[in-house]
Structure 1
Amino acid sequence: MQSDREPPRTRRRLHSKPTWYLPTAPAVDAAGAAGGTYTAFRLAGEAHAVWYAVVVAAAWVLVRASRSRYAWRNMGGSGNAHSTPRDWLILVGLLTVLKAATGEDSPFPLVLAGLVGCLPVTAAWQEMTLRHLLARRRAGRSISRALVIGEAVAVDGLLNHLARRTDHEFVAVGVCPIGDDNPNPVAPVTGRLDKQTPPRPSDDSATVLAAARRLQVDLVLVVPGPGMDGERLRRLSWAVHGDGRPLVVVPGLTEVAQRRVSVSSVAGLTMLHVVPPVRRGAALLLKNVTDRIGAALLLMLLAPVFAAVAIAVRLDSPGTILHVQIRAGQGGRHFSLAKFRTMVANAEQMRPELAGTNEQDGLMFKIRHDPRITRVGRVLRRYSLDELPQLFNVLQGHMSLVGPRPPLPDEVAKYNEVELRRLSVKPGLTGLWQVSGRSDLSWDETVALDLRYVDNWSPSVDFGILRRTLRAVVEGNGAY
């Protein structure tokens, strides 16, 4: 008969991340930094290009390591991608100080040209490991088996939330509800705790540890509530930690980025501090400047594409080249948005006839095989070329390069208080909606993605979305 006290180290390796993540990450970072620096200095005719490459590679790995980017818990996670631009700025500052201290006289623009190579290589590696880890988790690998403890209603909420997503490591294999109520049968009930705090800590720990050992769980998830106060949780943690398992407390916050949360201890109480979303300051100024400059550069670079698309639209079907609509921007303010026309000229008049064929479950109107779309229009939508004129809206300040989808005024008129929060920031040319499936997403998923962006925006988040936009455009998923 198998002992209940089987130690954690005998659990299946199925639950751990691939071991090659850890040594490969600094090696890739070093190679990207060294390769870019060597190329830049070699092309400039510098005699010591190899030494420059070695110094930059070592500095980049040092910066990343000091910021815990190689910590095992961060391997394959999405948080590293958002932090890469900040790490790069630290690298620039570090090398600037080193350059001044040593009296090294290479031109600073040349140094910057070499450092640029760090970003795409590191970003590509992070994207690859993230997608690899997500694929493993969807296949039931690289997961953490969890025992969930809490009152039935709270446990239901947690399990339902986890079940809707596949981008996390937790799989609930058992539940220990507090009280007599039974949670929904997503995971089996493997024990039950009294509603009231027991007089002896062992009354809780015996039930929890027996279930944890029998199921060979990797950790214990606790949802606090009236039946699980701070003192009871503290005593339970003694037993769980003594058995060699981590204990994770779920505070109930949703869609709050880790960087917005800090922990402090006040009078023996552990407190979570949640900072407000970024709405002003240098970061927002940087976003506005980047938007204007980026839009201006893209308009110049894509001028031939604009001309080719305009000719194709004109030759394909009668009507105007541009389709202009009124959209709602930040704060609900209206502005005129232009797109290359992808539908027949009388598309708006035909919409009432097609109302019954809407394939969206919310306020947006979308039909996968919309009969109003022209032949050229399907190609433009497939590769998002119809959106290019919105660069003029970005240049005028009505929109941003990254942000939520700009809604129609009649959609906004039906928004509830939660959905209105989407208008707290400027709408964007691209955003989480565009890189996460676009029209294939439900209305609730669309709102959730937009609110995640509104609440957790940062320059690094924008950088990550812009990086993913190219792949989303090429693949064309959900574009119709």
Structure 2
Amino acid sequence: MNSVDLAPVIDLTAVRNSSTAPPADPVGPTRSGWQSRYVVTLCLVDLTIGLASAAAALGLRFGPLTADPYHRGYLWITITLPFGWMVALTLNRAYETRHLFVGNDEYARVFRAGLALTATLAIVSFAVDFRLARGYVIIAMPLLIVAGVAVRYLVRRRLHRSWARGERLHRVILVGHGLAVAEMTRRLRRERFHGLGVVGACLPHPRAEPAGRRAAGLLPPILGTFEDVATAVSRAGADTVVVLSCPEIAGAALRRLGWQLERDDVDLIVASNLIDVAGDRTTVRPVDGLPMLHVEHPRLKGGRRFVKSVFDRVSALLLLIVAAPLLLAITLLIRMSPGAGGPAIFRQERVGKNGRPFVIYKFRTMYVDAEDRLAELLDRNETDGGLFKMRDDPRVTRVGRWLRRLSLDEVPQLVNVLKGDMSLVGPRPPLPREVAGYPADMRRRLVVKPGLTGLWQVSGRSDLSWEESIRLDLSYVENWSLTMDLAILLRTLSAVIRSSGAY
């Protein structure tokens, strides 16, 4: 009978019987330390933004100040506005750590704080019979909101870069069955923008786990069984425990674990079986002491979609007007480049909302015989799925490489947005041959308009695998919001400047 190698387990029996075992030193600053400094940084930044926005509005609206009492009144408003801004942010919980670091909730709270402060200014000025100049408010408040969101995005980007270097990560112990732990470990190691670093796991029967799974790096260090969680936390210097779905830890057992972790100020996270569902679509509804997770339907219709459509078309029109000289210059550059023999605008059939075909417009970046040469290059495809991607595609012209690197080849798609075929933000517009091979789940991408940019654009573009790009598109469809669109547009600017994943 052949023997089966089993995964090694760190023996914590002696540790459980000893109250003096020293905990491991965590890597980098403690969670409470860096989080407190992060919040203090946000407070200082918001105070500075509030003062700068108010001062800019004062200078642009009134010019040089005089000793006039009217001007002195606005000087006092300018001085107090930054503190009012911080109060509005505090009331909207924009400094609570559970809303910071990841997701779009932080930006939405900043936006709501700006609206609340604007309404407060109007009410107070009416109550005290002070005629607040509209020009002052029109300059100060939009500048305050835009700068507040933008600077918080930059501060967060700095934090995410430190996470990517393995710094300031939450030290996480996973609790669950082997397959679930391996899958969660893979997800958390793939991307670190969530700030979670796995340092170990507790399994129900760790000695029954095949050693091959551990040897392949699929499992983190196994620190013991479910009874060893509190001890494992102390030994590993963990600050977070993630409980994966398993019947052994539920109800009273989960409550007792929460009590144990509370004593050591360790966070408890319970993972659900939901996939790619944003937090604002879920609501906890207690039923006889049992928290039930209610999942709202995706926002595929209604007033917000109408606002998105209006925003898309107005923005596309304004951008086309502003970019008209650039469009003309690129057209001439393409026509004058070596090998030019076709039109500057490339037209191709794509599939839009509800499977309706439309013609997409792009600047031509390839030689006119590119489609004829595709067959001879298929064996050099660098991606999977239904797409053809090649980093050094010989069919791309010299001008085309420059246009692709800066994403300027996609600017004519603003015409598609203006016509209503596309949105500024949405899933990638697929080819008919791709859609023909879609399974049922993948056709979910077609319930919304495709976008000029999207989660796929800001998450790696051509560097993404086929499965990952599809997952991001489906995540966008399920969790769309106006705040998400604005966040993606801001991230798109950063991705274009860095030429991230463009080729």
TM-score normalized by structure 1?
Answer: 0.91
Q: Which residue of 2 aligns with 1:151?
A: 177
Verify: 1:349 aligned to 2:372, yes or no.
Answer: yes
Q: Residue type of the partner of 1:117?
A: L
Q: Is the 8 A contact 1:432 1:450 kept in 2?
A: yes
Q: Is the 8 A contact 2:27 2:167 kept in 1?
A: no
Q: Once the 2 structures are TM-superposed, how far is the Cα of residue 99 of structure 1 from its aligned partner?
A: 3.1
Q: Which residue of 2 aligns with 1:219?
A: 240
Q: Alpha carbons of 1:144 and 1:226: their partners in 2 closer, same or farther (altered >3 Å)?
A: same
Verify: 1:277 aligned to 2:298, yes or no.
Answer: yes
Q: Which residue of 2 aligns with 1:229?
A: 250
CA distance in 2, matches of 1:330, 1:288: 13
Verify: 1:191 aligned to 2:224, yes or no.
Answer: yes
Indicate the larger mover: 396-405 or 357-366: 357-366
Q: Is the 8 A contact 2:24 2:236 kept in 1?
A: no
Verify: 1:428 aligned to 2:461, yes or no.
Answer: no
Within-5 A mapping of 1:433-472 = 433-472=456-495
SS in 2 for 1:190: strand
Q: Which residue of 2 aligns with 1:247?
A: 268
SS in 1 for 2:374: helix
Q: Output one character per residue of 1:281-316: Cα deviation in whole Å (capped at 9) or x when no partner.
A: 221111111011101111111111111111111111
Q: Is the 8 A contact 1:35 1:117 kept in 2?
A: no
Between Structure 1 and Structure 2, how many residues are aligned?
A: 468
Q: Output one character per residue of 1:364-384: Cα deviation in whole Å (capped at 9) or x when no partner.
A: 112111111122212211111
Q: Which residue of 1 aligns with 2:78?
A: 53
Return 5+ residue gaps in structure 2 as ranges.
Answer: 1-13, 64-70
SS in 1 for 2:113: helix
Verify: 1:14 aligned to 2:29, yes or no.
Answer: yes
Return 5+ residue gaps in structure 1 as ranges.
Answer: 194-203
Verify: 1:33 aligned to 2:50, yes or no.
Answer: yes
CA distance in 1, matches of 2:319, 2:128: 39
Indicate the larger mover: 134-143 or 97-106: 97-106
SS in 1 for 2:176: strand
Q: Residue type of the partner of 2:280?
A: R
Q: Alpha carbons of 1:76 and 1:6: their partners in 2 closer, same or farther (altered >3 Å)?
A: farther
Q: Output one character per residue of 1:219-278: Cα deviation in whole Å (capped at 9) or x when no partner.
A: 322113232232322233233334443322111223222222222211111112221221
Q: Which residue of 2 aligns with 1:293?
A: 314
Indicate the larger mover: 398-407 or 124-133: 124-133
Q: Alpha carbons of 1:391 and 1:238: their partners in 2 closer, same or farther (altered >3 Å)?
A: same
Q: Alpha carbons of 1:384 and 1:246: their partners in 2 closer, same or farther (altered >3 Å)?
A: closer
CA distance in 2, matches of 1:12, 1:343: 49
Runs of 4+ in 1 over 6 A off after TM superposition: 6-10
Q: Output one character per residue of 1:22-46: Cα deviation in whole Å (capped at 9) or x when no partner.
A: 2221221122122122212222217
Verify: 1:364 aligned to 2:387, yes or no.
Answer: yes
Verify: 1:72 aligned to 2:97, yes or no.
Answer: yes
CA distance in 2, matches of 1:102, 1:182: 72
Q: Output one character per residue of 1:4-57: Cα deviation in whole Å (capped at 9) or x when no partner.
A: 456989856534226432222122112212212221222221724432323432
Q: Is the 8 A contact 1:360 1:366 kept in 2?
A: yes
Indicate the larger mover: 69-78 or 143-152: 69-78
Q: Which residue of 2 aligns with 1:408?
A: 431
Q: Alpha carbons of 1:168 and 1:350: their partners in 2 closer, same or farther (altered >3 Å)?
A: same
Q: Is the 8 A contact 1:76 1:129 kept in 2?
A: no
Q: Residue type of the partner of 1:303?
A: A
Q: Alpha carbons of 1:150 and 1:18: their partners in 2 closer, same or farther (altered >3 Å)?
A: closer
Q: Compute the RMSD of aligned alpha carbons.
A: 2.4
SS in 1 for 2:383: coil
Q: Once the 2 structures are TM-superposed, how far is the Cα of residue 417 of structure 1 from its aligned partner?
A: 2.3
Q: Is the 8 A contact 2:23 2:236 kept in 1?
A: no
Q: Residue type of the partner of 1:375?
A: R
Q: Which residue of 2 aligns with 1:182?
A: 209
Within-5 A mapping of 1:303-382 = 303-316=324-337, 317-382=340-405
Verify: 1:419 aligned to 2:452, yes or no.
Answer: no
Q: Residue type of the partner of 2:472?
A: L
CA distance in 2, matches of 1:235, 1:294: 54
CA distance in 2, matches of 1:330, 1:361: 24
CA distance in 2, matches of 1:85, 1:405: 28
TM-score normalized by structure 2?
Answer: 0.87
Q: Alpha carbons of 1:86 and 1:410: their partners in 2 closer, same or farther (altered >3 Å)?
A: farther
Aligned-residue identity in percent:
38
SS in 2 for 1:81: helix
Q: Is the 8 A contact 1:221 1:247 kept in 2?
A: yes
